[in-house]
Structure 1
Amino acid sequence: MATGVGTAGREFYAARVIQLASVAALGGFLFGFDTAVINGAVTPMREEFGMGSGLTGFVVSSALLGCMLGAYFAGRLADKIGRIRVMVLASGAFTISAIGSTIAVGPADMIVWRVLGGLGVGAASVIAPAYIAEIAPASIRGRLGSLQQLAIVVGIFVALLSDYAIAAAAGGAAEELLLGLAAWRWMFFAEVIPAVAYGILALTIPESPRFLMHKGEERKAREVLSQVLARGIDLRISEIRRTILRDHDTRLSDLRRPSGGLLPIVWIGIALSVFQQFVGINVIFYYSSTLWQSVGFSEEDALLQTVITSITNIVVTLVAIALIDKIGRRRLLMIGSAGMFVTLGTMAVVFSQARLVPGDDGQLEPVLEGAAGPLALVAANLFVVFFGMSWGPAVWVLLGEMFNNKIRGTALGIAAAAQWLANFGISTTFPSMADVGLWFAYGFYTLAALASFFFVLRFVPETKGKELEDMD
């Protein structure tokens, strides 16, 4: 079996570590698939259900309410029943949601199914980085943690490619495909396959050694570590034992300082999560096909453009995986913030100059003329480049490793819940902000990118190369 060299001369079984991390990261794949699959369905669903801008925005973002709840409770539940069982529960939520969304009869029940799927997304968003951080050697933890983001962007790509293929096969997303169902409904049903596969594969990997130690099952913890580490198992066991000697089932009170208020590290995790969403990345993946149609692209070309954007996201995530354990988390985040500030600012300026014309629904829509259209397209894709190489993977890596063993599950759940709440706010408000003007929406995201740079510079700690047991 191939080995690698970890910190303090420890050797690890690279192939086995990557296998375990990859299975856990499948939750990220479903996370990306579930949140992006609605992209191709927004316009035909809106027309079939007769929804206005406000209700459309809520239906699209309603899954994020489930994500928030799933993330909040998943951390605490995982501390009680284990990481693997929560993965299986998330798989079940994904599967039921996909089937329900396929046969939804109106916005009310679509919201219910979207929220249920969101519970699975939220749980997966917490469990994958926690599990990966807990089984990974410190020297490659950043790269393995980045597999979560890689899985997310691959899930987004597959969802958008699936949307494009299904719409093309039917001759349009609103056209009938099979069994009397419109193509946009089959877009949702496509999620059943990866959802079931996730649950099955989750049952093939061992429980986290830190959870096993917390439950007093040292023998099993040693067995798991022996699959990962070629040597240094006794030292790792003693390090884990040291951090849980006075441990108990995590409570919310553990996240508070004796003097009152949340621990500073928890606030940092919450702020990282909020900034990751306030730059508007999910507007690109939730609304991009609708957005590009509004500036002159056909439905087919707009869907194709979202596929190209998602491929770009995958490539730059691979760049992040190569860099994150070399240059560190903080530097990567600051590079990303600077790039996002420039590209989002460019989009804000371009759309501020757009000519407004009445659309099919009578509302004014922006039209980009001459070089403005290609410039906006390049800026949007460069924005994805800078986000994908930095804030996409680095935030999930940091959330998985910056909290100490005592509070990790609960603190990660709180931070992830904040992320989904911020995502909900951004996604819900985008249609209304776009009614004011796309320049207004992108101007807000530009300011958030600028603020994120100074936040990282001032507050975010570097965790590169540190063992989890050494986190403050």
Structure 2
Amino acid sequence: MATTAGSDAAKVNMAFIAAIVAVATIGGFMFGYDSGVINGTQKGLESAFDLGKLGIGINVGAILVGSSIGAFGAGRLSDMIGRRGVMMLAAVLFLVSALLAGAASSSVLFIIARIVGGLGVGAASVISPVYISEVTPAAIRGRLSSIQQVMIITGLTGAFVANFALARYAGGSTAEFWMGYPAWRWMFWLQAIPAAIYLVALFVIPESPRYLVAKGQEEQARTVLTRLFGAAEADRKVTEIRASLAADHHRPKLSDLIDKTSGRIRPIVWTGLGLAIFQQLVGINVVFYYGATLWEAVGFSEDYALQTNILSGVLSIGACLATMTMVDRIGRKPLLLMGSAGMAVALAVVAYAFSTAIPAADGGVTLPGNNGVIALVAANLYVVFFNMSWGPIMWVMLGEMFPNQIRGSGLAVAGFAQWIANAAISVSFPSLVVWPGLAVTYTGYALFAAISFFFVRAMVTETRGRELEDMQG
């Protein structure tokens, strides 16, 4: 049924758009699930492969190697085989990784399996927001693009719930579950179900009309746009897309990121890199990858630590849903500023709570008095602030802020930087827990959150309500 959306004059087929977005964001779900499943499996990995702290960090961080490569290659690859083509490739990689990771007989095989999955995660992380931004009207593009982050957190939470249920039913993550295999292996194998659904569902959605116009397939693009916005609006948009491409008509390449007049990297690229890197330097994936280990380190049982992960996931989903109602009303930049300030304060409180830790008899630590509760509340407030701001908004902006001609290349370098920063934070965390300790580590994350506030003020330009063809770089 066609309905109007926002201030757009055109008739918008919201049912068709909703179906497209629902399918595209399954990639976000897989991104979240593949990233979060590792959270409850670390005891199993440590036991099965005889890993130390560095070994755990490498096995956990292996996915990030693939993710950085996948993110870097996906933008350019999507200019060659299409947005939908890249998402299909990512779905296949998710499926293969799920089966191999659960069956891995050694750390090396597990690392390879996770790198394969990481290729899919990296590709999905940058292409799904682009695809969504290219098939949705400007007036509601922000909230529809924000669904990607909702699905990422839903995937994370789904992994947390599945890990908790399997560990609870089996009697622990390393206990035998079904067919003689330990529960932690089934945590990976369960990923195969949503991966297969994603692959099948991608066959029913169309290719991006902007990609089709770039490839000279204007009639196919017009057909897609007619279904989305009606015939009159389809003609107008085809003309706009053609004009934006004709203004700089050549095959997209990485060198487009350099301003031909000044010989310097375009300012919009530095903004994209900053958004991508700061999103990771605030330490959010420490919570996603090591949440169970973190809370066990300060005295929580495995069962309670896994439940705490679920709580964080539910709060994250709620925060993302709140953002969807605000992003197209108050804009992207105000939400980023609010998030930076809130995260800086919450992380500082977490750091204070961890600074009071005292050694426990079992070799771990405990937080005296009410400091355990303070740390838990502050950590969850931090998660809420992140998912009301930097979580969804960074992906929204990367999907829409670059001009058409450099969108693929801009996403390639920003996505690559995002995953490299992710790897640096995630692989280093197990060692940082030992030295210099949780308090200093979280103080560092708080400082990066504070710095990100001033970065946004200086570098980020609001994109709310602007057509993709109007973006300047």
| TM-score, length basis structure 1 | 0.97
Over residues 357-398 of structure 1, what are the superposed CA-to-partner deviations in whole Å (9 max), with x where a residue is unaligned?
3645xxxx3311210000000001000110011000000000
Please say if 1:446 is aligned against 2:446.
yes
AA aligned to 2:258 is R
Output the CA distance in 1 between the equivalents of 2:215 and 2:388: 37
Matched with 2:431 is 432
Percentage of identical aligned residues: 47
Equivalent position SS for 1:194: helix
Contact 1:222–1:233 (Cα < 8 Å) also in 2? yes
AA aligned to 2:388 is M
Task: Note the residue ranges of structure 2 that are not aligned, 5 or more in a row.
Answer: none
Contact 2:70–2:122 (Cα < 8 Å) also in 1? yes
Task: Note the residue ranges of structure 1 that are not aligned, 5 or more in a row.
Answer: none
Contact 2:8–2:139 (Cα < 8 Å) also in 1? no
AA aligned to 1:292 is W
AA aligned to 1:272 is L
CA drift of 1:19 comes to 1.4
Matched with 1:145 is 145
Structure 1 stretch 172-181 or stretch 257-266: which is displaced more?
A: 257-266
Equivalent position SS for 2:4: strand
Please say if 1:354 is aligned against 2:386.
no
AA aligned to 1:17 is I
Contact 2:5–2:140 (Cα < 8 Å) also in 1? no
Output the CA distance in 2 between the equivalents of 1:413 and 1:151: 22
Output the CA distance in 2 between the equivalents of 1:99 and 1:50: 22
Matched with 1:273 is 276
CA drift of 1:8 comes to 5.0
Output the CA distance in 1 between the equivalents of 2:294 and 2:452: 25
Output the CA distance in 2 between the equivalents of 1:62 and 1:308: 26
CA drift of 1:2 comes to 4.1
Contact 1:70–1:121 (Cα < 8 Å) also in 2? yes
CA drift of 1:249 comes to 2.1
CA 1:241 to 1:7, structure 2 compared with 1: closer, same or farther past 3 Å?
farther
Contact 2:34–2:117 (Cα < 8 Å) also in 1? yes
Over residues 51-99 of structure 1, what are the superposed CA-to-partner deviations in whole Å (9 max), with x where a residue is unaligned?
1111111110110010000011111011001111111111111111111
Output the CA distance in 1 between the equivalents of 2:336 and 2:8: 27
AA aligned to 1:395 is M
AA aligned to 1:248 is H
Please say if 1:191 is aligned against 2:194.
no
Matched with 2:200 is 200
Please say if 1:160 is aligned against 2:160.
yes
Equivalent position SS for 1:177: coil
Contact 2:299–2:365 (Cα < 8 Å) also in 1? no
AA aligned to 1:43 is K
Alignment of 1:93-242 (within 5 A): 93-230=93-230, 231-242=232-243
Output the CA distance in 1 between the equivalents of 2:176 and 2:220: 53
Matched with 2:341 is 338
Output the CA distance in 2 between the equivalents of 1:11 and 1:434: 55
AA aligned to 1:86 is V
Output the CA distance in 1 between the equivalents of 2:229 and 2:9: 11
Matched with 1:55 is 55
Contact 1:7–1:138 (Cα < 8 Å) also in 2? no
CA drift of 1:244 comes to 1.2
CA drift of 1:247 comes to 2.2
CA drift of 1:348 comes to 0.7
Please say if 1:327 is aligned against 2:326.
no
Q: How many residues align?
A: 468
Output the CA distance in 1 between the equivalents of 2:291 and 2:404: 39
Matched with 1:249 is 251
| RMSD of aligned alpha carbons | 1.1
Output the CA distance in 2 between the equivalents of 1:10 and 1:74: 32
Over residues 100-154 of structure 1, what are the superposed CA-to-partner deviations in whole Å (9 max), with x where a residue is unaligned?
1111112111110010000000010111011001001000000011011011000
Output the CA distance in 2 between the equivalents of 1:217 and 1:266: 29
Matched with 1:37 is 37
Contact 1:80–1:249 (Cα < 8 Å) also in 2? no
| TM-score, length basis structure 2 | 0.97
Output the CA distance in 1 between the equivalents of 2:361 and 2:50: 19
Contact 1:274–1:418 (Cα < 8 Å) also in 2? yes
Equivalent position SS for 2:250: coil
Output the CA distance in 1 between the equivalents of 2:264 and 2:179: 56
